[in-house]
Structure 1
Amino acid sequence: MSQPDHTGLNVSALGASATVALALVVAKLWALGATGSLSVAASLADSGLDLMVSLAGLAAVVYAARPPDEDHAFGHSSAEDLAALGQSVFILVSGIAIAVAAVMRLGSDAPATLAAEGRGIAVMIFSIVLTLGLVLWQTRVSRRTGSRVVLADRLHYLGDLVPNIGAILSLWASAAFGLTAIDSVVALGAAAMLAVGAIRIGIGAFNALMDRAAEPEMVEGIEELARDWPGVRGFHDLKTRTAGSRIFVNIHIELDGGQTLEEAHAIGAGLRRAILDAYPQADVIIHKDPV
């Protein structure tokens, strides 16, 4: 499949993700107003996060299709990391706020009161159905395009099923047995999940902004390709750095200095294509040195 087709599929997956997230935010806002449930509030915060992440991913895919310009010779992919860092702060603050509210409600002498549990349960079931449909589409797209952005978004939505199910259980326990404290316990668990996700996203974004090297498995794979490539006598100064969804690769290969420029170029171009086939997210520069 050609790159324009890949871009279109990726945009469709992330556009659907943003649309679903927006619909869930509106539905859960209504459910929160009707029920007063902290577990619904935690699920609402998670859907708000989904909306931001999906929009950032959509912008990243569209931005990635733009060629580098005069002021940004290596592209604009670091904007993804800046956005991710901001998102991680927002997620962490949201998780802390929900946790504080849950602890205060648990420590209060007055029992918490929930209302319209049936409406809240209906909204959460609607949320699960929409999420499953989105995950199925994103699975299909990620298999065809290999997009890491779509795959990461899919994994995030799979994780969202847990707080949604927890909210249903807490609302059911409140309606059936009057156990309103379960709502606060579920909210604490959801807040912990939000905090862990925020820290993970923040660390990844910070490492990318600090030009962290690619994963060791990728570095070893590139070394193996260069070591075994026909015509390459050796290699040195293999350097990688991460920026957004892109990984920049620089490598010096050692060639027979007596061969023609055309022959040397063909060897380097072939190796570059092999690296790009193995790691489509890479941006590869190969320097040619005589042995």
Structure 2
Amino acid sequence: MPYDAPSQKLNLSAGFASVSVAAVLVGLKLWALWATGALSIAASLADSAMDLFVSAAGLAAIVYAARPADDDHTFGHSSVEDLVSLGQAIFVAASGGLILWASVERLMAPSQQLTAEGAGIAVMAVSAGLTAALVLWQRRVARLTGNKVVAADMLHYVGDLLPTLGAILALFLSARFGWSRADSVIAIFAALLMLRGALQIGIASWHALMDRAAPADVVQGIAEIAALWPGVRGYHDLRTRTAGARVFVQLHIELDGAQSLEAAHAIARSLKRAIREAYPQTDVIIHMDVWQA
């Protein structure tokens, strides 16, 4: 299911929407930064610039990961998702570090009054609306297709709403009460969130590139299906590894040696089908062994 034509079209639509929204937001926030000089907008702009890079890379990963296995990549191309994610983590960390440094520097300097707060608030409000609309569409696509790249991008944009709303708050406080330092404080908070997200993305990508096993609940679920499957007398050597959105499963099942080869293959095929129905992102290889009483 994950790589059939309808699902692929939905995934691509979510990818193109993500790139388009990110490009519009970068343009809007560049103007808002020029007009206001607000570091909280700079933090939000850096986040949107990162989003544009991340979204473009994610779109490329969706297209490339969907390619079928070939002679050079016999297990498919899904590991590109992990490579892209690792690059994203490095980019996020660098952006967050720069924003944090600039914010602390301004916070320690004499207070500077922001300008054109009303225009900045309007731009950031439009940005929040576009981001919310994108999140709703990505959520629908992720629910229909099960694509983890789209789901991860959706969660990232959900996180982007916080610095955007923070920038609106900073501009409001500056315009209403003259609290221009709130801009730096909110920017520092946004930068710390970016660094935290980069660490999470980087760790997850590293584990996947190191062939980490599937989550414990997935492994347990596969084991329960195999243990209770009709005709299977036992199982052993259940091994899993992740690559991007894919989970590769190898499993040895023990069958009655007195039955025909055709019957044994029918049991293995039905078990494989059941595992893939329960976990659509899996690629399953089943080895058949003779059951020893």
TM-score between the two structures when normalised by the length of structure 1: 0.96
Counterpart Cα distance in 2 of 1:71 and 1:128: 44
Residue 142 of structure 1 aligns with which residue? 142
Question: Which ranges of 4 or more aligned residues in structure 1 deviate by more than 3 Å?
Answer: none
Q: Residue 120 in 1 paired to residue 120 in 2? A: yes
| Alignment map for 1:189-268 (pairs within 5 Å) | 189-268=189-268
Counterpart Cα distance in 2 of 1:231 and 1:57: 42
CA shift at 1:220, angstroms?
A: 0.1
- CA deviation vs aligned residue, 1:30-73 (integer Å, no higher than 9, x gap): 11111111111111111122222222222222123211111111
TM-score between the two structures when normalised by the length of structure 2: 0.95
Q: Which stretch shifts more, 236-245 or 75-84? A: 75-84
Residue 174 of structure 1 aligns with which residue? 174
CA shift at 1:20, angstroms?
A: 0.5
Residue 27 of structure 2 aligns with which residue? 26
Please tell me whether the aligned partners of residues 58 and 84 of structure 2 are also in contact (alpha carbons under 8 angstroms). Answer: no
Query: Tell me, which stretches of 5 or more residues in structure 2 are unaligned?
Result: none
Query: Tell me, which stretches of 5 or more residues in structure 1 are unaligned?
Result: none
CA shift at 1:280, angstroms?
A: 1.1
In structure 2, give the amino acid aligned to 1:165.
L
Give 3-state SS (helix, strand or coil) of 2:250's partner: strand
- CA deviation vs aligned residue, 1:93-123 (integer Å, no higher than 9, x gap): 1111111111111111x22232211121111
Counterpart Cα distance in 1 of 2:160 and 2:101: 21
Please tell me whether the aligned partners of residues 65 and 79 of structure 2 are also in contact (alpha carbons under 8 angstroms). Answer: no
| Alignment map for 1:92-171 (pairs within 5 Å) | 92-108=93-109, 110-171=110-171
Counterpart Cα distance in 1 of 2:129 and 2:5: 31
Counterpart Cα distance in 2 of 1:230 and 1:3: 29
Please tell me whether the aligned partners of residues 236 and 253 of structure 2 are also in contact (alpha carbons under 8 angstroms). Answer: yes
Q: Which stretch shifts more, 135-144 or 70-79? A: 135-144
Counterpart Cα distance in 1 of 2:260 and 2:206: 44
Please tell me whether the aligned partners of residues 92 and 194 of structure 2 are also in contact (alpha carbons under 8 angstroms). Answer: yes
Residue 63 of structure 2 aligns with which residue? 62
Counterpart Cα distance in 2 of 1:121 and 1:101: 21
Residue 44 of structure 2 aligns with which residue? 43
- CA deviation vs aligned residue, 1:219-269 (integer Å, no higher than 9, x gap): 000000000011111111111111111111111111111211211111111
For these two proteins, the number of residue pairs brought into alignment is 290
Identity %: 60
In structure 1, give the amino acid aligned to 2:145.
T
Q: Which stretch shifts more, 71-80 or 51-60? A: 51-60
Counterpart Cα distance in 2 of 1:274 and 1:111: 64
